[in-house]
Amino acid sequence: MPKPRGPRPNYNNTASGGSGSRFSALNDYQNEHDDRNNDGRKKERNTTRRVSFKPSAFQNKGAIKGRVNELALRTRLEDDEDMDGLVTTLNYEDRSQGSRRKGSPIPKGKFGRGRKLSPSQFGWYQVTIYFNLQIQAGQRYSKDDLIRALLNSLSPDIFIPLYWRTEKNCVVFFVDDFAIALRLTQLERNVQMSDGYRLFIRVRDGYPLVSVDEPFKEKMKLAMAKRYNAHTKALDLTKFHADPDFRQIFVGLFRNPVLSAALDIIQKNIPDLEALNLNDNNLNSLESFKSIETRLPHLKILYLGGNNIASLAHLLVLRNVPIIDLVLKNNPLRQRYKDHALYVSEVRRKFPKLVKLDGEDLEPQILFDVNDTSTMPKAQASFLCDASGADIIRQFLEQYFMIFDSDNRQPLLDAYHEQAMMSMSVPPASQAGRLNAFWKYNRNFRRIVNNDDVSRLRQLKVGRLPVVSNLAEWPKTQHDPQSFTVDLTLFTPKLISFTVAGLFKEFESTTSTNGDIRYFQRQFVIVPAGGGFCIRNEMIFVTSATGQQARTFLKTPSVQASAAGTASNLPTTAAGSLQSRLQMQQPSTSAAALMSTPAPVPTQPDDATKMQMIQAMIAQSNMNMEWSRKCLEETNWDYNHAAFVFDKLNREGKIPPEAFIK
């Protein structure tokens, strides 16, 4: 802003009629215009046009506004001179525009007429009476004095203030009636005490907060005991918060912790409860009723009238409860259905055994003639379509997983057919977490989209070499035979189909003992080959184990013996445990028993094959050619058995050092 130049006009000249600054400013303005228009000529001036700021008539606006507020309050308080020391500078009308005296006990924000009260979803409202800083709540006015003043202003309506408490500059209590809460908001400062002081009242939705501890539960238990009818096995918790035993505490069942505590008390003390009345408790959620069908299996009558349940969807937690009598009237959900028949139909869809709704008997439903008392067969850990296959499957799995959990999986080449096929799938990461070691082999069709034939074929391994190469890339594993479940679904002399599921540990590295527990399911199709069997088709599924499954992993000593890889312990302990789980006897005489030689007996290979086997043994064992040949010759050129014997003797330190000198 440019600095004014030249002589400053005298705005405070009071010589002209003593009108003060405003009159002088007006004269200057008029004179300036008169000079400009006198005879059509502009009056010559010594200075250029100036810009100046006049002192505002409301320079001390805050002080004047405070005086206006005080004047308004004095007017409303009937100008009683005896009340001068009690008048505050707060005014409700001005408060909606931001007026609030510094240091006022009234909270910031809209107040009085500036705030509209809406119905609370919990049905409770907090009323706060604020006092001037010069007045200590509870010292000048007693509780009876305040209640009497409120009742006089609300007449003919009456109410009972609940959970009254006195703080430094305010008094707080609660009401559970929206009409009373609305009337209290409309009172504003119309409530006047005997000495003329008018009360500041604020109402908002809210309820008392309490801690659900053991003393709290004990008081609940005593009150519930008085409301239980042992003859009808019924518990009446209607308007439970208004029980006379709860004068000092607030037991609102609409709070999930309180309702959960009530259901826990019922479960522990009256598990045979058949009828429960929860009318008029302002319930708006039934999440605490989860698994109620197991906690209260005899419950069949439930009253939920007069609550705040907004939709029938909230009743889904009760869908497994055989309710025959249900009350839902006076809930917001009832307003969703103008057609009573549609309302009944929707409720019956969730409770098919319902015979009484909202106190009215329902017409019998037309149902199919199905016997509800029939029971499904009991679940079994394993299934065998033919008992003759038990021994074959047992020995096949023992040999297969013994090699699979070893440091070298190459011997599994003899376990697969030349045209073997294998695929693997894992669930999405959102369901089972990230299975990093297996994700790249995933052939889950939900992951392969847009008819991606290339990915579908790439993840399908065909031929025993691609299959075993894929399995060799897996991390080191340790399976728990005690967790195995086996289902033998097809057993013929030319083809056997079975599924094995269980747990294994995925080690972080070949030298680490830490790892995650996984759950697997592998479906095998095996066919006869030579004197034994080989895998023609395999499907693998891997996912993360649940917490309960992980806690049961490797809980028996026999599994630790199998993990050690000793030839003497594995066939007896692991085989015996799996045989006991299958609960099958050794096969005696059958067509399948004639072909149940557990281990393949390889024929004598030619010289070229022997040389390949020697080279493979050298690469696997790091022994020289002489000792590798000796190991194969002493095991009758059975490579799998030779590798197993080498691992066993090498762990025991029985192989001489010269075997590794090349």
CA distance 567 to 330: 74
Task: Tell me the domain boundaries of the chain.
Answer: 125-205, 214-361, 382-545, 607-660
DSSP-derived secondary structure for 630-662: HHHHHTTT-HHHHHHHHHHHHHHT-S-GGGG--
- Given this model, what pLDDT does residue 451 score? 54
Q: Which residues of the chain have pLDDT under 50?
A: 1, 10-44, 47, 51-59, 61, 63-99, 110-113, 556-602
Number of Cβ within a 10 Å radius of residue 73: 18
Same fold, 125-205 and 607-660: no
The letter for the amino acid at 133 is: L
Give residues with Cβ within 8 angstroms of 477, minimum separation 6.
Answer: 404, 405, 504, 505, 506, 507
- Given this model, what pLDDT does residue 102 score? 58
- Given this model, what pLDDT does residue 651 score? 79
Sign of CA dihedral 404, 407, 408, 411: negative
- Given this model, what pLDDT does residue 154 score? 84
Above pLDDT 90, what percent of the chain? 19
CA distance 638 to 554: 31
CA-atom Rg of the chain in angstroms: 45
Alpha-carbon dihedral angle through residues 396, 397, 399, 404, given to the nearest 10 degrees: 140
What CATH superfamily is the domain 125-205?
A: RRM (RNA recognition motif) domain (3.30.70.330)
CA distance 426 to 36: 95
* Per-residue pLDDT reduced to its tens digit, 137-193: 556 778 888 888 888 888 888 887 877 888 778 888 888 778 888 888 888 777 878
User: Is the domain defined by 382-545 classed in CATH 3.10.450.50?
Assistant: yes
Give 214-361's CATH code, choosing from 1.10.150.130, 3.40.140.10, 3.80.10.10, 1.10.287.110. 3.80.10.10
Q: In the numeric block, which tokens belong to residue 473?
A: 């890339």
Number of Cβ within a 10 Å radius of residue 137: 19
Quick check: bond before 156 cis, omega within 30?
yes
- Given this model, what pLDDT does residue 77 score? 39
- Phi-psi sector, 112: left (phi>0), alpha (psi -120 to 50), beta: left
* Per-residue pLDDT reduced to its tens digit, 356-367: 999 898 888 766
Q: In the numeric block, which tokens belong to residue 246?
A: 């709860």
- Given this model, what pLDDT does residue 30 score? 47
CATH number of 607-660: 1.10.8.10
